[in-house]
Amino acid sequence: MRSLTGLQPSGKLHIGNYFGAMLPAIQLQEKGEAFYFIADYHAMTSTQDPKQLAENIQELAIDFLACGLNPDKAVFFRQSAIPEVHELAWILSTVCPMGLLERCHSYKDKVAKGISANHGLFAYPVLMAADILLYDANVVPVGEDQKQHLEVTRDIVAKINDVYGEGLLTMPEPRIRTEIAKVPGTDGEKMSKSYGNTIPLFGDTMKSVRKVVMKIVTDTTPLEEPKPIEGSNIIALYKLFANEAEMSQMVADFQAGGMGYGDFKQRLFDAYWDYFSPMRDKKEELKKEPGYIDEVLAKGAEKARENANIVLSRVRKATGLVSV
């Protein structure tokens, strides 16, 4: 089994990135071949500041390694270090029906939220398909928001295999952790940098993260009354960090009444801070070794290109771009 996961360096990572993509991907490195890439080309649809993009790339690399990615067990690289991805993306675009892209919810949602409409944002699913198919990935861990894009990839595979021969490209399968795929933001909507409702994976300071947690939207239930469990942002977030006993106690305290939301938010913050404590320590160590980060990414890119050229050579022959 070969799995593949990519993360955009479009800003500081948040806990939605971790639970929705990073954690399930890192777990897969113990179960087969794992390819992880920094999706810097994708990030350019929303980040045009060169200095900021470079900083984001470096920080994402450090964060991924701090969270448990093992470069001895997995292939870790920058998307932009693999020029073959654009050739495959173009080939895929020649068989991709426009209707597939026009139906994608992510593009519509982002434009509705005020993000500038551009071709890169619209054609994002085709480049994502190339990212996946270039390495013959069998399994792709995704959140609910990317499920439709993976279905686009599967439709493109079916189309190109029908045109140029069955088995030309590998049909990927989604791996969705439905119980945590949609991590709520501080406003109750899906957590997203685009929506400004995130809780950072690694905040600048304890005080700054606590301030974010304390802004989580709640209802107006008086302190002395029981608090509703259904639809509670605090409950939904707390279960990501708490064990079974802690979760049961939180629910019981919600139902008992006599405690305010501020107390529950503090409990959530404490659980969050303890959970990521060893990863914060690892991040501080890695920040002192920028040369090591560059070496890891360079070695990963070399391995990725070896695999990419195998697939692209196969596609070139099948499509007539080179003589058989």
pLDDT tens-digit series, residues 211-236: 999 999 999 999 999 999 999 999 99
The verdict on residue 296 lying in a domain is yes
Q: What count of other Cβ atoms lies within 10 Å of the Cβ of residue 315?
A: 21
The verdict on residue 298 lying in a domain is yes
Residue 287 Ramachandran class (φ > 0 left, ψ -120 to 50 alpha, else beta) = alpha
Residue 117 DSSP label: P
pLDDT in tens, 44-81: 988 889 999 999 999 999 999 999 999 999 999 999 99
Q: Taking the mean position of all CA atoms in its chain, how far away is CA 210? A: 24
| Closest CA relative to residue 109, chosen from 153, 150, 146, 152 | 146
The verdict on residue 75 lying in a domain is yes
* pTM for this predicted structure: 0.88
The pLDDT, as a whole number, for residue 36 is 96
Residues 166, 114 share a domain: yes
* Integer-rounded Cα radius of gyration of the chain: 21
Statement: residue 93 has pLDDT above 80 = yes
Residues 156, 98 share a domain: yes
Residues 164, 68 share a domain: yes
Provide the H-helix boundaries in 113-256: 119-122, 124-133, 144-164, 206-213, 233-241, 244-256
Residues 153, 80 share a domain: yes
Domain with residue 253: its CATH number is 1.10.240.10
Catalytic amino acids?
Answer: 110, 190, 193
Q: Is 199 in contact with 15 (CB distance < 8 Å)?
A: yes
Q: Is 307 in contact with 136 (CB distance < 8 Å)?
A: yes
Higher pLDDT, 147 or 160: 160
Residues 164, 77 share a domain: yes
Number of folded domains in the chain? 2
Residues 21, 135 share a domain: yes
| Closest CA relative to residue 132, chosen from 318, 44, 4, 228 | 4
The verdict on residue 82 lying in a domain is yes
Tell me how far apart the 2 most distant CA atoms of the chain are, in Å.
78
The verdict on residue 189 lying in a domain is no
HSE-up (13 A, CA, CB side) for residue 11: 17
Residues 119, 47 share a domain: yes
The verdict on residue 285 lying in a domain is no
Residues 146, 214 share a domain: no
The verdict on residue 191 lying in a domain is no
Average pLDDT score over the chain: 92
Question: Which are the contacts of 44, defined by CB distance < 8 A and separation ≥ 6?
Answer: 53, 120
Residues 138, 173 share a domain: yes
Query: Is residue 179 very low, low, confident or very high in pLDDT (cuts 50, 70, 90)?
Result: low
Residues 138, 30 share a domain: yes
Residues 271, 294 share a domain: no
Question: Whole domain around residue 115: which residue ranges?
Answer: 2-183+290-319
Query: Is residue 323 very low, low, confident or very high in pLDDT (cuts 50, 70, 90)?
Result: confident
Q: Is 3 in contact with 141 (CB distance < 8 Å)?
A: yes
The verdict on residue 281 lying in a domain is no
Residues 100, 12 share a domain: yes
Q: Is 247 in contact with 239 (CB distance < 8 Å)?
A: yes
Domain with residue 82: its CATH number is 3.40.50.620
